[in-house]
Chain A
Amino acid sequence: VLPVRWTRYNPYYLEPEPSREVYRIPVTELTDEQKAAQELKAVRPIKATPSGLTSSVFSDPTVSKFVNMMMEDGDKVLARSIITQTFESMKRKQVEKYHKAPATEKEGIECNPYTIFHQALENCKPIIGLISIQKGGKYYQVPTPLTDSRRRFLAMKWLITECRDNKHRRTHMYEKLSQELLAAFMNEGNVIKRKHDMHKMAEANRAFAHYRWW
């Protein structure tokens, strides 16, 4: 019977450690904190590993988060295959461009789909967000700073909804996603436009900033 991950754990459960490097350090070279952590592991129970967590060197937590956000009805196999196909199609386009370009331009072409993905996500993250606050019977859109996780969530959400809603119905998701990611990498495209719109709204509603009391 495999341990199933619960939603809520008792606080004394410890997080699982997937990376192999930690276990390869010989006992003599452990720092004090690491020694304490090892001793704690002997007495405390450990949470069950989520299925997306691997000890593979190729695993990326941002990509896993994106896969989870794309997933529908729990079909992670399908979501992950779409993402891998996206990376493959992005890489194909860029590598083809690279091989056909003259030697002077070769350095400028970015072929790594992971760097493109991270950079595109970075470019799509809004700096300031809007929050709905009720005052005097009316709701106002108040500008507010966002946490890192909220910014990342918004960027991914916008990318996914943009690809699902505003593209031609007969194109595959991986095709739509690869086009949108490459555009966002170049700071073009509808998602960047949406981020700029958000910034403009925040600038326009500057006056209501003091409605926020935290």
Chain B
Amino acid sequence: MALTRLNRIVQLSHTVSLTRPLHGSGCGLQLGAATQTEAPMESPRAVFRTSESEPASHGEQHIGQFYTIPPSQVKTIFPHGLPYRFQQQIKTFNEACLMVRKPALELIGYLKKADPTHPSVRYVLYGERGTGKSLSLCQALHHCSLQDWLILHVPDAHLWVKNCKELMASSYHRARFDQPIEASVWLKNFRVTNERFLKQIKTSQKYVWSKREFTDEGRPLGEIVDQGVTRVKNASDAVGVVLKELKAQARPGSYRLVVGVDGVNALWGRTTLRKEDRSLIDPSELTLVHNLRKMMKNDWCGGAVIATVTQTGSVFTPSSAYLPQELLGKEGFDFLDPFLPVLVPAYSEKEFESSYQYYRDRRWIQHHTGHTEEGKKELLFLSNRNPAALERLCAFL
């Protein structure tokens, strides 16, 4: 299909294909299965779903299966976290189903085994475009939320360094710039996710917002968040205060904090924002970025930092770049070093099969040839087993 907008899908599927033999390691994952609803590879019709809705109890035998997240959890844990196409899918299918995949499982395993007394480990998810980094991050955050951790989720750091409608000079620091809209929106969503922690955690010093407004020492953090939401001018400073307090008080005895940032390479890249004299703004001159960078350092204990490096949405990066070194640049890589890299590959044979069966079950593949072997082979070929490409292909079929 030379002239179609499958150009974009072809871009997605031009990934480095991990050629696995059909009868090789794909079947090996199933050998450990014992009690789960396992059927042989030839007819995996009912196998693509699992009834375990807690990521903590997922194991190797669940790889390739879909688990459902109840709607109440979706509303509290992910008010802003899920990618837009996944949100549309939830709305259409009337359920939120995520596939259990190896990178997320690996990440959750590390989180379970991590020692809270040691400095927080930084995990960086990387991979080609459309392989599922954001959703793996969301899966890990879902697990952390069920384990009662405090979730700090920045859904897309790239949104903070481009297309800002209102940029104002910061009142706190003369050389920096504030972004009131982005900060207040993030604070609102943060409040939805972590209601219960905001009442427990108390501020450790007095913060003065203006001549008549201040927050005393020992007040709950919820007041700072309310201050940022109501007084939009101080929103970015409120975000800074919240991050500082959470980091200072995240000791092994109290709550555990997980920082999830999608597109962390935006913090060390370039911005498209300009000052009034038309000179480009460096990311370090933005309050939000400056404060978030401080969170990414590993000088605090009792938590974890999970980040994604992505080229989608980033500015001034070539579309073929997907490795952390290329996307973070020297400055970012040195800042994040040492980190644990986790590669997110495209679907394996089994995962592709599972995804195809899920779409068929949910009546998503409607074209009559989509149900035949020929159609399935064509989908496999066109998408090159890339999750996002498959999703976009099945959308109009």
- Which of A's residues lie within 8 Å of B, judged by CB? 51-52, 54, 56-58, 76-78, 80-81, 83-85, 87-88, 91-92, 95-96, 98-100, 111-114
Contacts and interface: CB of A to CB of B under 8 A. Distances in A.
Contacts of B5: 77-78, 80-81, 84
A74 to B, nearest CB: 10
Contacts of A95: 92-93, 362-364
Given A88-B395, A112-B367, A114-B367, A57 B372 contact: yes
Nearest to A60: B367
Given A85-B396, A114-B367, 7 more contacts: A57-B378, A76-B3, A78-B5, A91-B364, A92-B88, A112-B366, A113-B396
Interface of B: 1-5, 7, 88, 91-94, 362-364, 366-370, 372, 374-375, 378, 395-397
A91 B362 CA distance: 12
B92 to A, nearest CB: 5
Nearest to A106: B363
A111 B378 CA distance: 22
A119 to B, nearest CB: 14
Contacts of B368: 112, 114
Contacts, number: 71
Contacts of A96: 91-92, 94
Contact of B3 (A80, A92, A112): A80
A113 B364 CA distance: 11
A130 B370 CA distance: 41
A58 B369 contact: yes
Given A52-B3, A57-B369, A87 B396 contact: yes
Query: Looking at chain A's contact residues, is the secondary structure mostly helix, strand, loop, or mixed?
Result: helix
Given A57-B374, A58-B375, A88-B396, A113 B7 contact: no
Nearest to B5: A81
A211 B363 CA distance: 53
B92 A99 contact: yes
9 contacts: A80-B3, A80-B4, A81-B4, A81-B5, A91-B364, A92-B88, A95-B93, A96-B94, A111-B366
Given A51-B3, A57-B374, A76-B3, A98 B395 contact: no
Nearest to B370: A58
B396 A100 contact: no
The residue in A57, A77, A100 that gathers the most chain B C-beta atoms within 10 A of its C-beta is: A57
Contacts of A77: 3-5, 7
B378 A113 contact: no
Contacts of A52: 3
